[in-house]
Structure 1
């Protein structure tokens, strides 16, 4: 009998030990980063995953969290960015920043007010002020170090308890039955993780490795920017961006702090002179320096001599989405334009406002097909602002570049003279440029008014067959510049958005 009890007791201990061992083995296998190739799962408490915490991602995270959403933000690198673009916020973009409650992010970073542009060509200049008469005195453009601005936004996001801001590299989207359910990523420690949420928004920038899953990317690289910082010098017109219509392409100057001026030299094509062997420094000193305003030349040459020369490819990509349940593209991952006009952040912040307003009436995001169908209207509602700024950026860049074609030369000169007329000839185009009047029809009217003005200059006082032919070529060239851009943006969405069913689509019933 005693022996029987010992056998039973021993069996019980063995069974109990087995359960304890199994429990610890299971816990070990669930430990994030455990060996054996296992992927840890992040709890499903997030309503929305945002990939990227740049301007678009940080602004979106803040506004959605303020609306009560639980947001998980995954950013490749949470240290301060160091870029030579994204440093000028147009007044229209600043108004969106105010609407999102983020206007204090341009405070305490030595941001500079920008009140307009100064345009230079062949020794002449024209001052193009922003039409700010009907706005609060605080409204203007802002220029700053991009990294400081982004970090201020991230700091503000991190103060919200319902935001999880994490450093990690997203490697792929997680899909089930054709719907995006979350993302796979490597965290800061290199551990493979999976995060789930009803909606995933991709804002991982111009070098996005996820965009091809959600759109048809048609990326063009029209030129490169060469960036310098000029120190302790004054611009000819304070608090203005300066655009020099140089040869072969524009040269930009604008303040990014109280002691620094950013210079961006555009070089057409993808190949630039070598920095390493001194070709770039020689090019800047011999070709570029003689074309810029005299009072900036010494500081420009000194900046070249310091050797802190940076380059960045300029990219252009129209928005061509594949609606995918459970996921959405935003920011430069979705839509890019030439940075000549500084409109990128305005488009991004405007898109954030549009998406915020679309998501506000939706309490339950788990019905992915229905929510996705509702969010299709995002692609139409954003077009007024985005297509105007995109088209203007692409068209102005082509007009501002030098060309051996005489008709293009006449178009370039006509653009400068048209803007020099003042009055409505400045107010209309600058309202478009600044994002204060994002109207595609107004853009088209001003562009062809400029072309007709150019033809008029050729025909007066006495037309000749040669001048008539040149005028016809000018009009044809103008059409060849702007119409392909409009076609890529989508004629119907730009000018007739109300013809799209998604324009009237109501939010899903909860």
Structure 2
């Protein structure tokens, strides 16, 4: 009996141990299954984050930003984002060296932005020329206006160069980064899904391809075919530039841009290499004399040539005879963005001003600095809606620099153009005389022009100081009813020039950016 009891106890204990062992084994197997399932889930999540399925096609999205266009804005932006660790893909229509007659003068303010972006070496080894200021010519008189560079390093100045050489240097620098890829192709459309831009459709070697990224930045220039879905473009073409290259001659003031207040509109000269001087003749309106039938050559010889400095006369005629005459429409377009998740506009595709003051590259480079500072804290760009809302602050933060240069370019062009109206004539003469006074009367406006002092209020003060100075000239020594009337028209005309430009730029964003809610947008939490 005792033996049976003993065996029962031993059997029970063995059963308990076996049951416990089987339980542990089952639990371990279940844990392994859960672990494997978890690993599979993590891998699936990783796979989901690295591919996008669209109409059955699988597209790699190992790109952070797509940049459309590799001009000044696109190439500089690609390098800047790449330097910050972003994976950038640049799609440019033509990677050969561009050949343009504008975009050849970089103001000192733009050069400072170039330094800030680490691109200052791009003006080296391209025979770029230092520019130290301007010289104005009117009715046989002239005055020299120096950039106020006393507070800056000796290397800081304007730069003038062949546009294509400068762009190629920036493209090379961008392509030198391992995480930046440049590809030749023509972007035909943006790929959208539920109102969010997912990437681009482009053609390369005759084949249609797609590229996907969390953010697409469109920098495809003044002739952009993509901006209509991202902004409300109101393009104005007030005039055209006729471009010539003068060879083996010296400017009256070396290392200065020269502006002739001609009739009907300004004529520009500036060096683009050690042996070449660019001449840009402004022709008002959208229609220019025909080059093919000789009308243009005749216009330049009979209307323009008699007005230019005598030091350049022979070289100007020689350039006409050489026949390398080119034209370019001068476009202006205020920034009117439609904030769109997944996409952003920059450069001339986004905002243009008359190229008289050479401020376009300064605005573009300044915009890139603003965007870099906004994007740099973000770990990733995948939340398109949150990123779009955050980047609305870009449109406000860029305003002080952009609106000052845009407004000055538009206003100065209208003042510098000849007119049959007596009040406009007085305003033009007053502007020349005001700048000739020296001191703050020249350094203030030139600081605005050069991008060294981007303050809209300072611009308005100097503009109306010119108008008041013009009225004072009319009323001294003795006022007359006719002079009083012209003075009143002068003030009215000045208001009619500058206020519409300010209205288009946005009064609140231009003068009171801190009152705009987007000014205080915080980075989205990743």
Does 1:233 pair with 2:249? Answer: yes
How much is the aligned-residue C-alpha RMSD, in angstroms? 0.9
Does 1:119 pair with 2:136? Answer: yes
Shift of 1:407: 0.3
Distance 1:39 1:216, change over 3 A: farther
Give the counterpart of 1:86 among 96, 103, 118.
Answer: 103
Aligned 1:5-404 pairs, distance under 5 A: 42-187=59-204, 189-404=205-420
Shift of 1:39: 11
TM-score by length of 2: 0.89
Which residue of structure 2 lines up, in the alignment, with residue 21 of structure 1?
none
Shift of 1:334: 0.3
- Structure 2 gap segments, 5+ residues each: 1-54
- For the residues of structure 1 that align with 2:525 and 2:409, how far apart are their CA atoms? 40
- For the residues of structure 1 that align with 2:148 and 2:113, how far apart are their CA atoms? 17
- For the residues of structure 2 that align with 1:123 and 1:40, how far apart are their CA atoms? 69
Deviations 1:384-405 (A, max 9, x none): 0000000000000000000000
- For the residues of structure 2 that align with 1:161 and 1:41, how far apart are their CA atoms? 24
- Structure 1 gap segments, 5+ residues each: 1-37
- For the residues of structure 1 that align with 2:500 and 2:457, how far apart are their CA atoms? 16
Aligned 1:399-438 pairs, distance under 5 A: 399-438=415-454
Contact residue 62 and residue 156 of structure 1 kept, 8 A: yes
Q: Secondary structure at the match of 2:185?
A: strand
- For the residues of structure 1 that align with 2:242 and 2:330, how far apart are their CA atoms? 10
Q: Secondary structure at the match of 2:190?
A: strand
Q: Secondary structure at the match of 1:165?
A: strand
Shift of 1:42: 4.9
Which residue of structure 2 lines up, in the alignment, with residue 472 of structure 1?
488
- For the residues of structure 2 that align with 1:473 and 1:417, how far apart are their CA atoms? 19
- For the residues of structure 2 that align with 1:491 and 1:111, how far apart are their CA atoms? 37
- For the residues of structure 1 that align with 2:514 and 2:102, how far apart are their CA atoms? 35
TM-score by length of 1: 0.92
- For the residues of structure 1 that align with 2:83 and 2:163, how far apart are their CA atoms? 24
Q: Secondary structure at the match of 1:257?
A: coil
User: Greater CA deviation, 38-47 or 175-184?
Assistant: 38-47
Contact residue 214 and residue 329 of structure 1 kept, 8 A: yes
Give the counterpart of 1:449 among 443, 451, 465.
Answer: 465
Q: Secondary structure at the match of 1:174?
A: strand
Shift of 1:217: 0.3
Deviations 1:226-256 (A, max 9, x none): 0000000000000000000000000000000
- For the residues of structure 2 that align with 1:121 and 1:150, how far apart are their CA atoms? 34
Shift of 1:64: 0.5
Distance 1:363 1:308, change over 3 A: same
Deviations 1:316-363 (A, max 9, x none): 000000000010000000000000000000000000000000001111
Distance 1:232 1:490, change over 3 A: same
Which structure has the bigger radius of gyration?
2
- For the residues of structure 1 that align with 2:386 and 2:192, how far apart are their CA atoms? 17
- For the residues of structure 1 that align with 2:337 and 2:525, how far apart are their CA atoms? 25
Q: Secondary structure at the match of 2:363?
A: helix
- For the residues of structure 2 that align with 1:365 and 1:43, how far apart are their CA atoms? 16
Shift of 1:41: 6.2
